[in-house]
Chains A and B, each alone.
Chain A
Amino acid sequence: MNLYGWVFMLASCGFVVALTAFCYWRVLRTPGTLEHMHAPLDIDTHDADT
């Protein structure tokens, strides 16, 4: 792999890791996020018994 390859790989992975880390840091550190934050599969559709 040449220098450009290393640069593109490290920059791509670095950007994605930084973005993910930022999001998780906000999730873990911001007070009250659990009350208001949801993932699609975590959302209750309230129709299980119908």
Chain B
Amino acid sequence: MVVNGGTTPRPLTAAGRRENWTTRLGVILAVAGSAVGLGNFLRFPGNAAMNGGGIFMIPYFISLLLLGIPICWMEWTMGRYGGSRGFNSAPGIFSVMWRNPISKYFGALALIVPVGIYMYYVYIEAWCLAYAWDYLSGAMARYPADVEAYKEHFAGFVGTDHNGFLLRSTGGLQESVLFLIIVFIINFVLIYRGLTRGIEVFCKFAMPVLMLFAGVVLVRVLTLGTPDPARPEANVPNALGFMWTPTIPVRHAWEQTAGPELQGFRPAGETAEVRIPEGLAVPQELVFEAVSRGGLKSVRQVFRVQVSAGGAGAAAGDRGVIAARPGQAVRLAVDPASLDAIRAQPLWTGLADAQLWLAAAGQIFFTLSVGFGIILNYASYLRRNDDVVLSGLTASSTNEFCEVCLGGLITIPAAFLFLTAADLTPAVLQSGFKLGFVALPAVFARMPAGDLFGAVWFFMLFVAAITSSLSMLQPAIAFLEEGFGMGRRLSVTCLGMLTAIGSLLVVYFSKDLIALSVMDFWIGTVCIFLLAMVQSIVVGWLFGIERVKEECRRGAAMSVPGFVWFLMKYVTPTYLLIVFVCWCYSNIPAEIAGIRAMNAGDRGTVLLMLAFIGVLLVFFGLLVNLAAARWRAMGRLPAGDDSGPPVADPEARR
């Protein structure tokens, strides 16, 4: 078991002792490597374009300043404090910060989040590598420059048509599964070998490559001019405008208000598809309602679908009465003219949209990896006088640079230049997967030297992803080491097996990527919010802001502005609580309604994945309980109710 004694200075690497530009650059590259991830290039651009473009940046930067940076500093401070008290894992760190028997169980959240996210993140990482390989090998060249073709390719690539996606009909492994195995092995070897030998060296090479690739793609996109003379409106200023021009975000809520309830009613933004069942008794009238909200106004539209044996041909989306017959698919669409009243409001009214603030806060969490439990763990290895302020701020700002200046100027503008507005539907923008693996390949197909740029782009995404995934298992490795006395290699092996089970479930239950979405929603979103909220309350109120102030300032390479302490104590927890409650209110009922509306097979997949998450929670809860008993037996935590100071606390010993 390896425990940081806290007061014992650790030898720095030889490079770390030399004050020269090369090693400083090395630190910066390592910061950048830790910061960049898939969310910068796929999640952020779609999120911003979907949520009013430029107007999204107002809550985004407010969330950065009120949530992201304060919580980031909290995590660095908590981690270093826990490390100085002899704990590297979140359950131990929570135990020394809040002397309460239940605190260690909150720490378990900081283990589940990165491990759970790793289970599907590594699969997406494999897609990136597979796409890069396909571009290099010329396999992507056989597809026409059409979004539908890439949609079909992606569906076949990840098996969205049905569950049981592992083997080809010919018996060989599916390409995405093969690349998952390759990526899993790469991750495993690097993590198994240990950070200093694997990841640091890897990052020092990978990050300049990533930045170079991103720069090349950015320059290429911004110098494309008007790539298709037949579409003069598809030019660079308009492409940037599609991403950045502020608009009032409009949300559409669809509901069936009369007629027998239909399984095949699929709302998607401004449109909804209704599949009339074959066996539906006729004549029948189905009534649907769409409420479009934006700014301070809302518009309600009613659609009546009259089903009769004769029906009509394919009904076009329209208001009023639509004739249809059993077995037919009907598309309903909100009348664009009716939205003019919403869009005519002053721009600032767009900020009244709660969903906009929730999306911005969620993006900041995902981007800065706050609430993941990773920073908490890494910071615990710092020495007592190491800086946490400039380190945290530099990591955050580098992340923001990659996200706003690279992700914001490449992904959506490139898609706009080569695709039509009809291709960039809310469904595409909303899903990073569809944007990244369906829309962008169609862009590369229409771009000069598209195969080369496609290979460069997806390899860059792979590098961005692997620098994130490599750090995701470290919190759980540290826990197994200090909780059970396991060595790193045994810990990595155990976690490798556990995460392989999770990844296998995500791969096997491939239909519509439901299993992946369940993991992303409940672990990658709900648990992150929860952990961030718990951390901010523990730091601001239970540990005490004065102690945080003292702890944070020790060794700081820059001073923290005075108002930050006020933010940490009052504003951040309150803002987070409001965001979390609003987020639950607006998303969880919709999620549950979505599950109820699914067919039995899909519902089974969701319930199975929820059961798996439940098993993970119980499993890690039990492990934390056992580890705490061991710590008590070793005298590292006081026996009984954990209410006294831990014996491992150097200050208590003094």
Q: Is B149 an interface residue (CB 8 A)?
A: no
Residue numbers in A under 8 Å from B53 (CB-CB): 5, 8
A40 & B34 in contact (Cβ 8 Å cutoff): yes
Residue numbers in B under 8 Å from A44 (CB-CB): 10, 13, 195-196, 381
A7–B393 Cα gap in the complex (Å)? 25
Residue numbers in B under 8 Å from A13 (CB-CB): 404-405, 408-409
A50 & B245 in contact (Cβ 8 Å cutoff): no
A16–B337 Cα gap in the complex (Å)? 37
A38 & B394 in contact (Cβ 8 Å cutoff): no
Tell me how far the C-beta of B21 lies from the nearest C-beta in chain A, rounded to whole angstroms: 8
0 or 1 for each of A27-44: is its CB under 8 Å from B? (1 = yes): 110111111111111111
For A5, give its contact among B12, B193, B240, B386 (CB under 8 Å).
Answer: B240
For A34, give its contact among B23, B393, B487, B555 (CB under 8 Å).
Answer: B23
Residue numbers in B under 8 Å from A35 (CB-CB): 12, 16-17
B23 & A42 in contact (Cβ 8 Å cutoff): no
For B10, give its contact among A9, A28, A30, A46 (CB under 8 Å).
Answer: A46
Chain B interface SS verdict (over half):
helix
A44–B285 Cα gap in the complex (Å)? 67
0 or 1 for each of B183-211: is its CB under 8 Å from A? (1 = yes): 00000000001111101100100000000
Tell me how far the C-beta of B244 lies from the nearest C-beta in chain A, rounded to whole angstroms: 4
Scan residues 21-41 of chain B and give those whose CB is less than 8 A from a CB of chain A.
Answer: 21, 23-24, 26-28, 30-35
A8 & B54 in contact (Cβ 8 Å cutoff): yes
Count of A interface residues, CB-CB < 8 Å: 43
Tell me how far the C-beta of A40 lies from the nearest C-beta in chain B, rounded to whole angstroms: 4
A27–B393 Cα gap in the complex (Å)? 11
Known contacts A9-B244, A35-B12: A41-B394 contact under CB 8 Å: no
Known contacts A4-B347, A12-B408, A26-B390: A43-B244 contact under CB 8 Å: no
Known contacts A47-B488, A49-B194: A23-B397 contact under CB 8 Å: yes
0 or 1 for each of B547-574: is its CB under 8 Å from A? (1 = yes): 0000000010110000000000000000
A28–B55 Cα gap in the complex (Å)? 34
Known contacts A1-B238, A8-B246, A23-B390: A40-B374 contact under CB 8 Å: yes
B381 & A45 in contact (Cβ 8 Å cutoff): yes
A26–B31 Cα gap in the complex (Å)? 14
A1–B244 Cα gap in the complex (Å)? 8
29 contacts between A and B (CB under 8 A): A4-B54, A5-B245, A8-B244, A12-B408, A13-B404, A13-B409, A16-B397, A16-B403, A20-B397, A23-B398, A24-B28, A30-B390, A35-B12, A37-B386, A38-B30, A38-B386, A38-B391, A39-B33, A41-B200, A43-B378, A44-B13, A45-B88, A45-B194, A45-B478, A47-B478, A47-B481, A47-B487, A47-B488, A48-B194
Can you name 7 extra interface pairs (CB under 8 A) apart from A5-B241, A27-B28, A42-B26? A1-B238, A2-B241, A34-B24, A42-B31, A43-B381, A50-B1, A50-B489
Which 3 residue pairs across A and B have the least CB separation, nearest first? A48-B194, A1-B241, A8-B54
**B interface, CB within 8 angstroms of A:** 1-2, 4, 10, 12-13, 16-19, 21, 23-24, 26-28, 30-35, 53-55, 57, 61, 88, 193-197, 199-200, 203, 237-238, 240-241, 243-246, 347, 374-375, 378-379, 381-383, 385-387, 390-391, 393-395, 397-398, 400-401, 403-405, 408-409, 467, 470-471, 474, 477-478, 481, 487-489, 555, 557-558
